[in-house]
Amino acid sequence: MPSKLDPHLAAIEVWLAEQPQLTALAIVGRLSEKHPEEFGTRQHSIVQRLLRALRRRAAEQLVAEESLGDATTAAPLSGVVDGSGYVGPDPPTAPPTEQAWKATWRGQSVDIASTAATAPSG
C-alpha cells in the first residue's frame, strides 16, 4: 500500500543524513512548510513509523557491517591470553611515593632519597 510519504522519502533521507537527530515533529514541520496542503500535525504518526523503520534499517546495516568486519579481521591468538593487551614488562608494584624517589642513571638504579639525605650540607 503506497504511503503519503513515498514521494518525499528521498528528501527525508537527505535530511536525516545531514541531521540524524531529527524528530518526527521536525520532519512534519519541514514537510508542512513545503506542502501545507498535504502535511500537518495529523501526519505525525506516519512520520514516526517511517522514522522508526529507517532507523531500524540503518542500525541493522551497521550491525551487519560490524559483524562482517569482525569476522574478516579477527584472528585467533596463539598461546595464553589474559585479555589486557599489555605486552611490556610487569608494571612497578611499589607505592607511587616510593617510585618517585627511584631513578636510573647510566643503567644503574639510584635511590635519590638516600643520596640527598647523606649529601654534605656544606
Instruction: Express each pLDDT in 5-53 by its tens digit.
Output: 999 999 999 999 999 999 999 999 999 999 999 998 899 999 999 999 9
Q: Tens digit of pLDDT for each residue in 63-83?
A: 888 877 665 555 555 655 555
Q: Tens digit of pLDDT for each residue in 46-59?
A: 999 999 999 999 88
Percent helix, strand and coil across the chain, each rounded to 5?
55, 5, 35
The DSSP 8-state label assigned to residue 108 in this structure reads E
Q: What is the pTM of this model?
A: 0.52
Residue written as grid cell 591468538: 77
Backbone angles phi, psi at 103, to 5 degrees: -145, 165
- pLDDT reported for residue 41: 87
- Per DSSP, helices labelled H in the chain are 9-18, 24-34, 44-73, 96-100, 112-118
Residue written as grid cell 643503567: 107
